[in-house]
Structure 1
Amino acid sequence: MSEEQVLTPQKENVYRVQGFTCANCAGKFEQNVKKLPGVENAKVNFGASKISVQGNTTVADLEKAGAFENLKISPEKADTRSTSTNNEDEKVPFFKKYQTLLFATALVVLGFISMFVNGEENIVTTLLFLVSMVVGGLPLFQTGVRNLIRLEFDMKTLMTVAVIGGAIIGEWGEVAIVVILFAISEELERFSMERARRSIRSLMSIVPKEALIKRNAQELFVHVNDIVVGDIMIVKPGEKIAMDGVVLHGFSSVNQAAITGESVPVEKKVDDEVFAGTLNEEGLLEIKITKLVEDTTIAKIIHLVEEAQGERAPAQAFVDKFAKYYTPIIMIVAALVAIVPPLFFNGSWEMWVYQGLAVLVVGCPCALVISTPISIVSAIGNAAKKGVLVKGGIYLEEIGSLKAIAFDKTGTLTKGVPAVTDYEVLEDSIDEKEFLATITALEDRSKHPLASAVVKKANQENISYSIISVSDFTSITGKGIRGKINGTTYYIGSPKLFHELAVELKQDALGRIESLQKQGKTVMVVGTQDNVLALIAVADEVRESSKEVIRQLHKAGIKETVMLTGDNQATANAIGTHVGVTSVQAELMPEDKLQVIKQLKTKYQKVAMVGDGVNDAPALAASTVGIAMGGAGTDTALETADVALMGDDLRKLPFTLKLSRKALNIIKANITFAIGIKLLALLLVVPGWLTLWIAILSDMGATILVALNSMRLMRVKE
């Protein structure tokens, strides 16, 4: 390979941006950064207010590229102790924050007072309006004139031409009002977008910045940036956990709502995983740190959600494409309105130039441009707070149009943990509880998953088995176990084991075994070399919520729900019938699940797969939307799925469907309203009724209504 062919991949750096006023400005900033020396590529995430830059550049160069908006740039991973955040402007007093706008408004008011006292043609009146325009609209004019010189057409270009034209024909009062209202409109747009962004950024504020760390037999408070993997953190009752880790000592209940959306606290004991941002409610915990601050689950959630906000949804892609052609068309229409009537129909130049300027103002696509981003950011932020991680606007839209959903059985519709469902003693002379203690003493020495179900049952019933002495314990691979208690050798295993031992199974016992197996249960036989003494049936426990969730999905219009499993057909049918899925596919290998998803896509086009994000990776990838269960603490689920339910709670699925459909409806309503109000205002041109006042009020009104409508998505409940 020649030296020229060896390409060094450019490093990607991410920066936070403060000061975006609109999506168009964000796009322009992106183009400016791409032109910087040493920059290979750049991508702005308007929703998260960030920019990713490939190549070499400095913060000073980036701020120069954003000087037209006076943008402030800071590295994303800057030390939180020394770097200001994007929320700084929230602390600025109202008057100081909006002093320019307030001063310009005061000048307009004085201008109208002067007009009333001295008349419209008075030099003082004109100067007051002119100074108001300069104070309130200087950034607008600077950008607009620069755009005109470069023949770049956006909202500010339209407004600048309209203002200059209005000034030329002497409409000083109206033009001053237009400038003020446009500035207010921009501030409202900025406010609504920032509020939507804060809905997810506020998650970071729930994580303590310091933690009590035990080092070298001393306890000291350490900033989270200085905590390393392996440190021991002490968390007292009522305190929030600052870092991810595992419990080393202690027992407590922890409220994990911030991560998983679960409202009920979860018990935590030694070796259990805990997450940063969760609340320790009862006991003292000593926790061994397992992740650095930037790798904690909540940090990953925030990062993934911010990335998701930057992913353009299909509706947003349409708006971006539409806006690209829309502005030049408006410029042409405005020119025709101003020129055609005076030239060909003896119209008044003053009247029709004024109408043309009003067309420019009404043509500003503010409401249209923000119709989708605020909706996407609001919906994704709301979902994250409820424990649902949606990894892009496209998936938010796709969920709403799903027609079929496939579910993995184990760990999704079921808990993935075997449980004893039936325990029957076959000899009248045997005490059930005493014999369960004997069985548990044997099973406690086995590592088989079915054995854990028996031990769990004994613990639940407070049966003591640890004092029972077991000798000659042996595991019979694939068949069962054997052990001696009080001189008697017991066997526990499949019916096949007892056939091999030549132990006769009575007709009643055989009938009962067959009946339990038909219910999808695994049957273990307990006995000696001479006799069968008891039967234990074990099954994977179905989640309490599964049946209700499937019912809600069918009610919401999902046409087919399919359960996919590698289990035998009898087990699958029993569980499928219980939870209410429309069809069951059993005895499947991972590649078979993939084929089922492909068949469903052929039939329904839009299909989701719900699984654990590990074993179901091929099916998750092939589906329209891959939904992983239990994303909290599972990096694979967070990385492979399009949507992650952070807690093991299927009830979040109907909520996600509801939120998606609401978002789709709101986006469509916003786009329709934003375009409709423009067309309605433009129709006023025909009789010559369109004024600059009506134009700017229609634009500002549409922007406010679209923003408020979008922010409703932050309040959608489960």
Structure 2
Amino acid sequence: MRNEQALDQLQAKTYRVQGLTCTNCAAKFERNVKALPGVKEAKVNFGAAKLTVWGEVTIEQLEQAGAFEQLTIREERERPARREPFWKRKENRNVFASVALLLFGVAADAADRGMLAVVMYLAAIVIGGYSLFWTGLRNLVRWQFDMKTLMTIAILGAAAIGEWQEGAVVVILFAISEALERYSMENARRSIASLMEMAPAEAIVRRGAEEMTVPVEDVRVGEVMIVKPGGKIALDGVVVDGASTVNEAAITGESLLVEKALGDPVFAGTLNGEGFLEVEVTKRADETTLAKMIDLVEEAQAERAPSQAFVDRFARYYTPFIIVAALLVAIAPPLMIGGDWLDWLYRGLAVLVIGCPCALVISTPVAIVTAIGNAARRGVLIKGGVHLEQIGRLRAVAFDKTGTLTKGEPAVTDIVVYEGSREQLLTIAAAIENRSQHPLASAIVRKAEEERAPFLDVSVDGFQSLTGQGVKAVIGGDTYYIGSPALFTSLVGKLPNEAEQQITAFRKEGKTVMAVGTADRLLGLVAAADQLRPSAPHTIAALRRLGVAEVAMVTGDHEQTAQAIGRQAGVSDIRAGLLPEEKLAAIRELKQRCGVTAMVGDGVNDAPALAAADVGVAMGGAGTDTALETADVVLMADDLRQLPYTIRLGRRTLAVIRQNIAFALGLKALALAAAIPGWLTLWLAVFADMGATLLVTLNSMRLLRVKE
């Protein structure tokens, strides 16, 4: 506790790390950084290739700590330099040189120039493997047995018993494997890199009478930013002038254009259409919705999934076991049955090479990084591998009603006229309700605007709110009332039978009924309801097709409304009139009866139920800080159709992780079985190890193809 408090008082600084390809290297780099003078604590996020340091340190010192893997470090917000093509990179040139020397050696062997061939093979080993040997020998001295230590022992052993060509081939194959690993991890991380590049580095702001281009880090909250047609929006803000359409796919994953006008929010990284906008900045560059998304996704990639924890525990015992097994294969047969020492030493070296746990260790993180990155690009934030795995195991989903299955705002559904015309009734109602702040009032005004009723031309006097009943006002010398049917019962006595029957029918459909009239006569009825999202029935049908055993609705709304919405959505298990603690109990009951359960809500209300569920899913994270912070999964586009996609992604990820572990262990088991009888050469052993690593990585890349 005391250490945590001390760290809180220190400034944490985050850096980007280039060159991290395996979790063992990340762990070693973290240890090296912790050992630097001035560093109190350090944490490496392998998935996001980030380093967080508490204390004082320079980039030069950090790069020295990562010299064993030629790691390069840059500031967190610094844009990466343009990468050279894969085949031109310095670390890969040595591979080409080694291959050339190997071919010369083979040619010398064919010409019966044995000494020249040995020199060529030795040169190929030194040029292709000098960094490997440097690290491996240093680890060997310290009794640290990682992949490079095992490979160093194997290559030196091959040279010691005169297998120069084998040693050179092993070095080259290992170097190729390392290069392909780097390339694969860069591809896996590209989803996040593409998010980071979406927000421009500069913004045009108005300062005084001048417009100037400045770095986004220098723009202050409250300044006015100019967004030209076709330009990217650099920071979050609110439109203060102009109108346009904006592509918000960077945030929500939704490619449809969104109209923006005075007072509408806009987000960093989104693309302006053909209009000209002036935007008042509301968040600094490191606080924008896009910046928070990137931070959350990178933190998620650092979270250890249950599968990864299992693999790490397994690898801890697996590597020592392989070393002991290789040693026994090398010395036991010669000692016990008089086998040839060189032959069995060679077989022991093959076992050592096969035993490299790289493919196994990378099997889970590469799948998690790829899946979370893919989801982020499609507007779904998943806050860690543990939640991704839980999503893949979902057996039940509970939905909140208001704002989740429904749009969260009432709309007029029916108008029944008993006296006068429909236009006259709607004009009177909208003219009065235009002065009210009630959500139902807004619904009537919107309906009048849709039908072009001339309510703005009507003079309204004496507006008065009748608490709990409705409103009244004077129009043209007559007093009109709008409110609950109970209000009119108190005014005119018993309502006509036709009106009573209509009110009952509307209420059975889950609609709220407002009566319009004077103190002595009923002019008509207006029914309104919270509208079901068009995507809700399709989403629930898709969940059932995916095999989700139970789809429920938990709401605090009254029974009739809940039943009506539930029937339209296709939900069979409808629980209405629930208090927050009763919703919590409902989620616990679902978990006990069905298994892994998700709760889908708006991320603001129903906090206990969201927390109690195995996976809390929040709707509409764009612009909602609460949703980003509280939920395990955030559907940024406020679109229920993203939920089946997320479940498919979770299930596919679980399947890929299982396949990866099976590939890694299965190939190694086959190779070990072939190595002990002497059927497997050293270079084939490296090829098998490289093949397992590539198979695992390429299999994980398939997660990029999971679509909605």
TM-score, normalised to structure 2, is 0.97
Counterpart in the other structure of 1:548: 538
- Does the aligned pair in 1 maintain the 2:535–2:640 contact within 8 Å? yes
What is the Cα deviation at residue 641 of structure 1?
A: 0.6
C-alpha contact (below 8 Å) 2:86/2:183 kept by paired residues: no
Preserved CA contact (<8 Å) 2:40 2:54: yes
> Contact (CA 8 Å) 1:388, 1:645: kept in 2 or not?
yes
How far, CA to CA, are the matches of 1:315 and 1:620 in structure 2? 24
Worse-superposed segment, 33-42 or 626-635: 33-42
Cα deviation for residue 623 of structure 1 reads 1.0
Write the distance in 2 (CA, Å) between the matches of 1:237 and 1:445.
37
Q: Determine which of 368, 382, 396 is the counterpart of 1:404.
A: 396
1:213 aligns with 2:210: no
CA distance in 1, matches of 2:510, 2:632: 32
In structure 2, what residue type is equivalent to 1:611? G
**Whole-Å separation in 1 of the counterparts to 2:638 and 2:531:** 14
Alignment of 1:293-332 (within 5 A): 293-332=285-324
**2:421 is matched with which residue?**
431
Equivalent position to 1:565, from 529, 535, 555:
555
Matched, 1:592 2:582: yes
The answer to whether the 8 Å contact 2:603/2:626 transfers is yes
3-state SS in 1 of match to 2:197: helix
- Say if 1:503 and 1:532, in contact at 8 Å, map to a contact too: no
Q: Is the 8 A contact 1:47 1:306 kept in 2?
A: yes
- CA displacement 1:686-707 (0-9 Å, x = unmatched): 4321211220111111111111
The amino acid of 2:586's aligned partner reads: V
Displacement of 1:92 in angstroms is 7.6
Q: Deviation per CA, 1:32-81, whole angstroms, max 9, x where unpaired?
A: 2233344333221111111222344333332232221222222324xx3x
Q: Report how far residue 269 of structure 1 moved.
A: 1.4
Unaligned runs of 5+ in 2: none
Alpha-carbon deviations, 1:393-440, whole Å to 9, x = none? Answer: 11111100011111111110000010001111012xx11112211111
- Distance in 1 between the 2:280 and 2:696 partners? 48
1:238 and 2:230 are equivalent in the alignment = yes
Question: Which of 482, 487, 492 is the matching residue for 1:497?
Answer: 487
- 1:533/1:8 CA distance change after superposition, 3 Å: closer
Provide, for residues 607-637 of structure 1, a one-character-per-residue CA deviation record: whole Å limited to 9, x for no partner. Answer: 1111111112221111111110000111110
Aligned residue for 1:633? Answer: 623
2:105 is the counterpart of 1:115: no
Q: What is the match of residue 39 of structure 2?
A: 39
Residue in 2 aligned with 1:251? 243
Whether the 8 Å contact between 1:162 and 1:360 is mirrored in structure 2 is yes
Asked if residue 94 in structure 1 is aligned to residue 84 in structure 2, the reply is: no
Q: CA deviation at 1:11?
A: 3.2
Assess if the C-alpha contact under 8 Å between 1:503 and 1:529 holds in 2. Answer: no
1:104 is matched with 98
- Residues 236 and 588 from structure 1, CA distance in 2 versus in 1: closer, same or farther, beyond 3 angstroms? same
Q: 1:469 is matched with which residue?
A: 459
- 1:617 corresponds to: 607
Aligned to 2:138: 146
Q: What does the per-residue CA deviation read over 1:223-252, in whole Å, with 9 as the maximum and x for residues that have no partner?
A: 212211111112222222111100111222
Residue 486 (structure 1) shift: 0.9
CA distance in 1, matches of 2:382, 2:666: 31
CA distance in 1, matches of 2:198, 2:39: 36
What SS does structure 2 have at the residue aligned with 1:98? helix
**Stretch of structure 1 that moved more, 237-246 or 168-177:** 237-246
Alpha-carbon shift at residue 284 of structure 1 (Å):
1.5
Cα contact 1:400–1:661 (8 A) shared by 2:
yes
**Cα distance in 1 between the residues matched to 2:526 and 2:211:** 51
Paired AA for residue 565 in structure 1: T
Moved more, 103-112 or 669-678: 103-112
Aligned twin of 2:508: 518
* Residues 115-194 of structure 1 mapped to structure 2, 5 A cutoff: 115-119=109-113, 122-194=114-186
Cα displacement (A) at 1:143: 1.0
Contact between 1:22 and 1:186, CA under 8 Å: does it hold in 2?
no
Note if 1:335 corresponds to 2:336. Answer: no
Quote the residue 1:67 is aligned against. 67
* 1:473 partner amino acid: F
Q: Aligned-pair RMSD on alpha carbons? A: 1.7
Between 1:345-354 and 1:212-221, the stretch displaced more is 212-221
Tell me what 2:527 maps to: 537
Which stretch of structure 1 is more off in the superposition, 642-651 or 678-687? 678-687
Deviation at 1:6, TM superposition (A): 8.8
Spell out, residue by residue over 1:510-538, the C-alpha distance to the aligned partner (whole angstroms, 9 max, x if none). 11111111111110011111011100111
Deviations 1:115-173 (A, max 9, x none): 11134xx2221111111111111111111111111111111111011111111100000
Alpha-carbon distance in structure 2 between the residues aligned to 1:117 and 1:364: 36
Which residue of structure 1 lines up, in the alignment, with residue 597 of structure 2? 607
2:635 pairs with 642, 645, 655, which one?
645
Please give the per-residue CA displacement for 1:98-129, whole angstroms capped at 9, x wherever unaligned: 2211111111111111111134xx22211111
- After TM superposition, the structure 1 stretch with the greater mean CA deviation from structure 2, 261-270 or 52-61, is 52-61
Give 1:13 deviation, angstroms: 2.2
Of 414, 439, 442, 1:449 maps to: 439
Counterpart of 1:528 in structure 2 is 518
Q: Bigger shift: 551-560 or 45-54? A: 45-54
The more displaced of 673-682 and 7-16 is 7-16
What are the Cα deviations for residues 328-380 of structure 1, in whole angstroms up to 9, with x where unaligned? 11110001111111111121111111000011111112211221111111111
Counting only pairs closer than 5 Å after superposition, residues 43-54 of structure 1 correspond to structure 2 as: 43-54=43-54
Report the count of equivalent residues: 705
In 1, the alpha carbon distance for the partners of 2:11 and 2:639 equals 39
Change (3 A) 1:159 1:291: same
Q: Are the aligned partners of 2:7 and 2:54 in contact in 1 as well (CA < 8 Å)?
A: no
Q: Give deviations 1:173-219, integer Å, cap 9, x for gaps.
A: 01100011001101111110111111221122222222222221222
Which AA in structure 2 matches 1:22? C
Distance 1:113 1:91, change over 3 A: closer
TM-score normalised by length of structure 1: 0.96
Runs of 5+ consecutive residues of structure 1 not aligned to the other structure: none
- 1:463 positional shift: 1.7
The equivalent of 1:291 in structure 2 is 283
Q: Which amino acid aligns with 1:42?
A: A
Q: CA deviation at 1:604?
A: 2.4
Instruction: Please state how far the C-alpha of 1:717 moved relative to its aligned partner.
Output: 1.3
Give the equivalent residue in structure 2 for 1:222: 214
When residues 61 and 687 of structure 1 are mapped into structure 2, their CA distance, relative to the original with a 3 A threshold, is same
**Residues of 2 paired with 1:242 and 1:458: CA distance?**
38
- Cα distance between partner residues in 2 of 1:649 and 1:159: 51
Whether the aligned pair in 2 keeps the contact of 1:504 and 1:531 (CA below 8 Å) is no
* 1:265 aligned to which of 257, 262, 272: 257
